[in-house]
Chains A and B, each alone.
Chain A
Amino acid sequence: MKIHEYHRPDSLEQAYTLLHQDKHNALIGGGGWLKLSKIRIEKAIDLTSLNLDYIKEDTDTIRVGSMTTLATMEQHFLFDTLYSGMLKHAIHQVMGEGLRNIVTIGGTIMGKYPFSDILTPLIAMNCELEFYKEGVLPLTDFLNGKARVNDILVELRIKKDKGIGYFKKIAKTALDFAILNVAVSFSEGTYKIAVGARPSRASLATDAMTKLNEKSDIKDFKHAAKTASESLKFTSDFRASEHYRRTLCETYVLRGLKEVNPHED
């Protein structure tokens, strides 16, 4: 990583103008993963002076400024009960307190990191992103989009659904990246299943969800868990084999569905 110039603009417009001056200019979020990158940045644009560090709530939405750190989110009461505290639980497992004090939610989202423990529970909820110029985009559309969004993320919006959530990070040690992340949610009659660190980026298990969310009183959780493990793409790396990840997926999706099941005795 090499930075030639450092800029800390006072307005979103200044930041946006700088970003578009040169394709080698880049935004700096928390900067926690900068060192892992081989990027050469001509002008680093630091967003710390733009007042994007906030957590606010409207009637039905929690709005999180893109420069809010994971530690701030972890400590905020609004995430204590949202989907059974699933997001807070996931944040708590992101390495140590020091890293959580610098990593920002905006950097986490814009980086689309495949190892992210946060993207998995976020896509199992109901999230939108507000960009400075491009407006509002569903989080899943942004993550699935192949084109690079060359804009500034202003805030993450999370719907305050009344829902139940389950999150499981499977890792060899507390400080290691996940072998697999699983998030399952149930809200207003709809199940969502998200699986991340496959080791590719978090994705919804749409085939399994379609069957589960059909209008029927019979919910076959075992079949849904098997469908999720068979329909999603898994690959092998030095942490785990494709087969092991698939097996973990089936096991933990089933546990998650049982946990969020509103009819469970």
Chain B
Amino acid sequence: MKIELTVNGGREIFDVAPDEMLLDTLRSHGFKSVRRGCDTTSCGVCTVLVDGLLVPSCSYLSVRAEGKHVTTVEGIPEEASKLSEHFGDEGADQCGFCNAGIALSVHALKNRTTSPDEDTIKDALTGHLCRCTGYVSQLKAIKAYLKEGDNE
């Protein structure tokens, strides 16, 4: 089946199977920041934005994305770079496997909330598994990143 998607601002035609998930479509077309973790919606590493909404791409049928705007972390390079610096400062960047999904969740959080409190940030992190850090360093990094945004 042929579907047209806008990925990170660029329109593309994809030939997909009826049961193909968006994760497979994106990865097979070079969007390798979208990773396969649990493959059952639990870990968050496959998170992308579809029309601005966070979705687990491992369980989102590609045909459902037809005509929609998909954003991967490659689509928010400046934000990802700034967040990455804060992750480095706080030692939150270890294996890095979960970072792309978390960056998109932080992007979505920033778009809908100004100066979120700690519980709101924790809520945004729920849905992302990180086996390296225990989340404290990530929480500190995200707070610092959002504070920097408030001061800009």
Interface residues of A (CB under 8 A from B): 1-6, 8, 28, 31-36, 41, 44, 46, 48, 71, 92, 95-99, 101-102, 174-175
Shortest distance from the beta carbon of A212 to any chain B beta carbon, whole Å? 35
* CA distance in complex: A28, B42 (Å): 20
Q: Is the CB of A35 within 8 A of B59?
A: yes
Q: Is the CB of B42 within 8 A of A95?
A: yes
Q: Is the CB of A96 within 8 A of B19?
A: no
Of chain A, the residue at the smallest CB distance from B42 is: A175
Known contacts A44-B18, A102-B55, A35 near B40 by CB under 8 Å: yes
Q: Is the CB of A98 within 8 A of B18?
A: no
Shortest distance from the beta carbon of B134 to any chain A beta carbon, whole Å? 13
Q: Is the CB of B105 within 8 A of A175?
A: no
Which of B39, B56, B108 is within 8 Å of A102, CB to CB?
B56
**Set of chain B residues within 8 Å of A174, measured between Cβ atoms:** 126
Q: Is the CB of A101 within 8 A of B54?
A: yes
**Set of chain A residues within 8 Å of B44, measured between Cβ atoms:** 96, 98
Which of B40, B54, B64, B129 is within 8 Å of A97, CB to CB?
B54
Of chain B, the residue at the smallest CB distance from A34 is: B59
Q: Is the CB of A36 within 8 A of B40?
A: yes
**Set of chain A residues within 8 Å of B146, measured between Cβ atoms:** none
Of chain B, the residue at the smallest CB distance from A93 is: B126
Of chain B, the residue at the smallest CB distance from A40 is: B19
**Set of chain B residues within 8 Å of A41, measured between Cβ atoms:** 19
Q: Is the CB of B127 within 8 A of A98?
A: yes
Which of A5, A46, A99 is within 8 Å of B56, CB to CB?
A99
Interface residues of B (CB under 8 A from A): 1, 17-19, 21, 39-42, 44, 47, 53-56, 58-61, 63-64, 105, 108, 123-124, 126-129
* CA distance in complex: A190, B128 (Å): 40
* CA distance in complex: A62, B24 (Å): 38
* CA distance in complex: A35, B127 (Å): 17
Q: Is the CB of A98 within 8 A of B55?
A: yes
Shortest distance from the beta carbon of B70 to any chain A beta carbon, whole Å? 13
Shortest distance from the beta carbon of B121 to any chain A beta carbon, whole Å? 12
Q: Is the CB of A28 within 8 A of B129?
A: no
Shortest beta-carbon contacts, A-B, top 5: A96-B127, A3-B19, A6-B18, A98-B54, A3-B18
Of chain B, the residue at the smallest CB distance from A96 is: B127
Of chain B, the residue at the smallest CB distance from A103 is: B41
**Set of chain A residues within 8 Å of B123, measured between Cβ atoms:** 92, 97
Of chain B, the residue at the smallest CB distance from A6 is: B18
Of chain A, the residue at the smallest CB distance from B101 is: A98
**Set of chain B residues within 8 Å of A97, measured between Cβ atoms:** 54, 105, 108, 123-124, 126-127
Q: Is the CB of A101 within 8 A of B53?
A: yes
* CA distance in complex: A46, B55 (Å): 17
Q: Is the CB of B105 within 8 A of A28?
A: no
* CA distance in complex: A118, B54 (Å): 21
Which of A4, A6, A44, A175 is within 8 Å of B127, CB to CB?
A175
Shortest distance from the beta carbon of B131 to any chain A beta carbon, whole Å? 13
Shortest distance from the beta carbon of A75 to any chain B beta carbon, whole Å? 10
Query: What are 13 contact pairs spanning A and B, CB under 8 A?
Result: A3-B19, A8-B63, A33-B41, A35-B40, A41-B19, A44-B18, A46-B63, A48-B64, A71-B53, A98-B56, A99-B127, A174-B126, A175-B126
* CA distance in complex: A101, B129 (Å): 18
* CA distance in complex: A71, B124 (Å): 13
* CA distance in complex: A203, B8 (Å): 46
**Set of chain A residues within 8 Å of B124, measured between Cβ atoms:** 97
